[in-house]
């Protein structure tokens, strides 16, 4: 671990850590993160630390820069300022694929599945880095090919079952209903064997009962895999229910951090969402 992360750990105000994670190394740290798009500052001085088994949320009004923050954390955008530390390692200059292989997985606001492939194949693509089978043994169909394929099939089915998708395993992803597609995207992200899972508006377009199901599912994911979950969501019911810590952003900056109860009563948050009193 670099001394960089130790330095950050000494500054408690950054942290969103739960008590049980407090003595552990955070899995993801954003240190003074910022990005400019052609002179326009989209995200600025974004500081956060997420514990290894924590469910935390990122909320804020539309256009606050939440998805941009996700893109920075996963390496899709390179930050203009600051650094992202994943398991204590600076991800600067890494390709998004490399960052993922290091242990961060995500879903997308506008679902991005491999629509022409079956649900199972989608998950198997997610397991890409863990399938140990050389190029030539798959070309020559050596026994190791069959062995690794069988193992992959089994693990994919386990994951699909876990997400309640076993019966659609052989259906093309593009023809699945919306809510199922969202769950499949989570299954695919879990297949990469991440240390932290980022969910970008997982409940968007879901009805209340589906959302309630999702809330339980997110908890089950954390409990089963012992990983951190970091989510963007507009559905306050879900956020307040499932998140143990919340950061609120507006205009690319964090305006509040804390437990759901603290956030609910924070005047800055209320102002950001509802506007100032004299305006209303």
Partner 1 sequence: MIFLIWLLYIPALYLVYGLRLALAGMGIYLHTFPTMLLHGAVFVGVYHLVKLLKKLLKVQPRIPANAGKKDKTISVYGVVTVGFTAMTALQGYGMLSRSMQGYLVPICAYVVLALSLNLVVGISGELSLGHAGFMGVGAFTGIVAATCAQNAVGDPFLRLVIGMLAGGLMAGVAGLIVGIPVLRLRGDYLAIVTLAFGEILRSLTENLHVGLDSAGLHLSMSNGGVQLQEGGKMIISGALGATGIKPISTFVAGILLVLFTVAVVLNLVHSREGRAIKAVRDNRIAAESVGINATTFKLKAFVISAVLAGMAGALFGLNLGSVQASKFSYTTSIDILVYVVLGGMGNMLGSIISTVVLYLIPEFLRSLADYRMIMYAVVLIVVMLCTWSPKIKNTISLFTYTMRTYWNRLMRKKGGSGK
Partner 2 sequence: MDFLQYFIDGLYIGAIYAIIALGYTMVYGIAKMLNFAHGDVIMVGAYMSYTFVSASGMPVYLSIPIAMVICTVLGIVIEGLAYKPLRGTSSLAVLITAIGVSYFLQNAAQLIWGPAEIGFNRLVNAKPFLLFDGKLRVSPEAMVTLAIAVVIMVALTTFVNRTQTGKAMRAVAEDRDAAQLMGINVNRTISITFAIGSALAAVAGVLLCSKVQSVSPTVGSMPGIRAFTAAVFGGIGSIPGAMLGGMLLGLIETLTGAFISTQFSDAIVFLILIIVLLVKPAGLLGKQVQEKV
CA 257 – CA 266 distance, rounded (Å): 9
Distance of CA 154 to the CA centre of its chain: 25
Contact flag: residue 225 with partner 1 (CB under 8 A):
no
Stretch that binds partner 1, among 26-34, 109-117, 228-236, 237-245 (CB under 8 A): 109-117
Residues in Cβ contact with 119 at an 8 Å cutoff, skipping those fewer than 6 apart: 160, 165, 168, 169, 170, 171, 172, 173, 176, 184, 187
Under rule CB under 8 A, how many of the chain's residues touch partner 1?
40
CA 56 – CA 255 distance, rounded (Å): 16
Contact flag: residue 145 with partner 2 (CB under 8 A):
no
Q: Which residues pair with 246 in a beta bridge?
A: 57, 258
Q: Is the four-CA dihedral 267, 240, 109, 90 of positive or negative sign? A: positive
Q: Which of 81, 86, 111 is nearest to 98 (CA)?
A: 86
Residue 54 has phi, psi (to 5 degrees) of -110, 145
| Residue 131 contact among partner 2, partner 1, none, beta carbon within 5 to 8 Å by kind | partner 1
Choosing from 121, 153, 158, 266, the residue that interacts with partner 1 (CB under 8 A) is 121
Q: Which residues pair with 48 in a beta bridge?
A: 30
Stretch that binds partner 1, among 11-19, 54-62, 102-110, 248-256 (CB under 8 A): 102-110
Contact flag: residue 126 with partner 1 (CB under 8 A):
yes
Phi-psi region of 31 (alpha: psi -120 to 50; beta: other; left: phi over 0): beta
Stretch that binds partner 1, among 13-21, 94-102, 205-213, 252-260 (CB under 8 A): 94-102
Q: Which is nearer to partner 1, 27 or 191 (CB)?
A: 191
Binding letters toward partner 1, positions 177-216, x by CB under 8 A: -----------xx-xx------------------------
Q: Which is nearer to partner 2, 108 or 251 (CB)?
A: 108
Q: Which residues pair with 249 in a beta bridge?
A: 254
Give the footprint of partner 2 on residues 52-81 (CB under 8 A): 67, 71, 76
| Residue 251 contact among partner 2, partner 1, none, beta carbon within 5 to 8 Å by kind | none
Contact flag: residue 76 with partner 1 (CB under 8 A):
yes
Minimum distance, C-beta of residue 249 to partner 2, in the bound complex (Å): 17
- Tell me which H or E stretch contains 266: none
Minimum distance, C-beta of residue 108 to partner 2, in the bound complex (Å): 7
| Residue 67 contact among partner 2, partner 1, none, beta carbon within 5 to 8 Å by kind | partner 2
Q: Which residue has the tokens 């076993």?
A: 166
Contacts with partner 2, residue ranges (CB under 8 A): 67, 71, 76, 108
């Amino acid at each position: 671990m670099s001394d960089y992360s130790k330095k950050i750990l000494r500054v408690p105000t950054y942290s969103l850590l739960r008590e049980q994670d407090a003595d552990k190394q955070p899995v993801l740290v954003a240190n003074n993160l910022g990005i400019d798009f052609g002179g326009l500052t989209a995200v600025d001085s974004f500081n956060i630390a997420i514990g290894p088994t924590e469910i935390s949320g990122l909320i804020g009004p539309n256009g606050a820069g939440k998805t941009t923050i996700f893109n920075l954390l996963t390496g899709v955008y390179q930050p203009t300022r600051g650094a992202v530390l994943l398991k204590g390692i600076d991800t600067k200059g890494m390709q998004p694929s490399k960052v993922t292989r290091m242990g961060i997985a995500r879903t997308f606001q506008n679902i991005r599945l491999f629509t022409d492939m079956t649900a199972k194949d989608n998950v198997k693509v997610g397991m890409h880095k863990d399938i140990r089978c050389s190029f030539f043994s798959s070309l020559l169909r050596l026994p190791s090919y069959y062995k690794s394929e069988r193992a992959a099939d089994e693990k994919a089915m386990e994951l699909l079952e876990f997400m309640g998708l076993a019966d659609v395993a052989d259906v093309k992803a593009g023809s699945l209903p919306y809510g199922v597609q969202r769950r499949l995207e989570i299954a695919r992200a879990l297949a990469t064997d991440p240390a932290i899972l980022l969910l970008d508006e997982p409940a968007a377009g879901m009805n209340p009962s589906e959302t309630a199901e999702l809330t339980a599912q997110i908890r089950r994911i954390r409990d089963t895999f012992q990983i951190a979950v970091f989510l963007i969501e507009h559905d306050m019911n879900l956020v307040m229910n499932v998140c143990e810590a919340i950061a609120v952003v507006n205009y690319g900056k964090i305006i509040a951090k804390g437990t759901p109860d603290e956030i609910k009563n924070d005047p800055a948050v209320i102002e950001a969402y509802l506007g100032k009193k004299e305006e209303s």
